[in-house]
Amino acid sequence: MGLSASQARFLQLTARRSNVEYQAQQINFERLQWSDKLEAASQKYNDATSNRTLSFAFNNGSEVQNVDVTYNNYKNFMNQQMEGLTTAQQKMYLVSSTGNKMVVANQEDMETMITQSNGEFTSDDFMIVPDLDDVDAFQEAIRNGIYYFATLEESPETGKNVFNTQDWSTIGGGAISDELNVNDDAEAEAEYEQMQTKVQNIDKKLEMQLNKLETERSAIQTEIDSISKVIEDNIEKSFKIFS
């Protein structure tokens, strides 16, 4: 093979090697993306199997049923435990940890509670928090002591009504429990296993493609080394002619 032909072949091989290396990089990047997706699915599965739910043991008169501790259930169930007790002091209230204000979701709830209190409260006693319907956020706020449940009791020192706040874990001698939520575990496990199988199958195919490219690159490199030797020999012979 002449010098010019060898150089042309060398350039072709170099271009092919670059293309093969680029394809290998793309495959490695794709494998990394699928690995990230599997990691995200694993985190989602772990979150689903470790999430906890605050629930309230509600006695409806004939049986005890557990209801999730949500803002609406606090309004609709927790105070029904006090059915038959008519004064504002005998109800349970949601209060803030700072300012000792009653926490409500909107203006309407505030006005309802003011009316029901028979003059016990004014708007200055309330704090409106619009996102109380977010169950997860609401329960975390209860767990972390951002909001407390409280009863309104007369202070023996001043004779005025003050809030007696209680930690959620002590209300009603354990009426509120914090337990693992297993309702979504089966679905989360099936979803994770499906993603795991998918990623494993895709990764196996990508690995086979990568091995094929590596074999091709090795063959190209061997030929490049051979052509380089031919070019070196041709150059060396040319210098000898003119020496």
79 and 17, same domain (yes or no)? no
Mean local confidence (pLDDT), 99-119? 88
196 and 166, same domain (yes or no)? no
Mean local confidence (pLDDT), 62-70? 84
> What's the token pair of residue 50?
């470790």
Q: Is the pLDDT of residue 189 over 90?
A: yes
56 and 161, same domain (yes or no)? yes
120 and 220, same domain (yes or no)? no
Count Cβ neighbours within 10 Å for each residue of 157-194 and write b for 16 or more, e otherwise.
Answer: eeeebebbbeebeebeeebbeeeeeeeeeeebeeebee
128 and 18, same domain (yes or no)? no
**What is the DSSP-derived secondary structure letter of residue 173?**
G
pLDDT in tens, 152-166: 888 888 888 888 888
Query: Does the pTM of the predicted model rise above 0.85?
Result: no
pLDDT in tens, 120-132: 889 999 999 999 9
Mean local confidence (pLDDT), 233-242? 62
- The answer to which of 48-52, 114-118, 209-213 has the lowest mean pLDDT is 114-118
10 and 72, same domain (yes or no)? no
**What is the DSSP-derived secondary structure letter of residue 180?**
E
164 and 119, same domain (yes or no)? yes
Phi-psi region of 171 (alpha: psi -120 to 50; beta: other; left: phi over 0): beta
136 or 154: which leads in pLDDT: 136
58 and 166, same domain (yes or no)? yes
156 and 131, same domain (yes or no)? yes
Domain boundary among 180, 200, 232: 180
23 and 107, same domain (yes or no)? no
Domain boundary among 180, 215, 231: 180
166 and 215, same domain (yes or no)? no
Specify the pLDDT at position 79.
62
Rg (CA), the chain: 36
Q: Specify the number of domains making up the chain.
A: 2
Mean pLDDT of the chain: 86
Q: What is the distance between the alpha carbons of residues 90 and 164, in angstroms, rounded to a whole number? A: 11
Q: What is the distance between the alpha carbons of residues 142 and 136, in angstroms, rounded to a whole number? A: 10
Domain boundary among 145, 180, 215: 180
In sequence order, what DSSP letters do the residues of 85-135 get, joined into one string? --SGGGSEEEEESSTTPEEESSHHHHHHHHHHTTTS--GGGEEE-TTTT-H
9 and 33, same domain (yes or no)? yes
Domain encompassing residue 11:
3-49+186-241
3-state SS, residue 50: helix
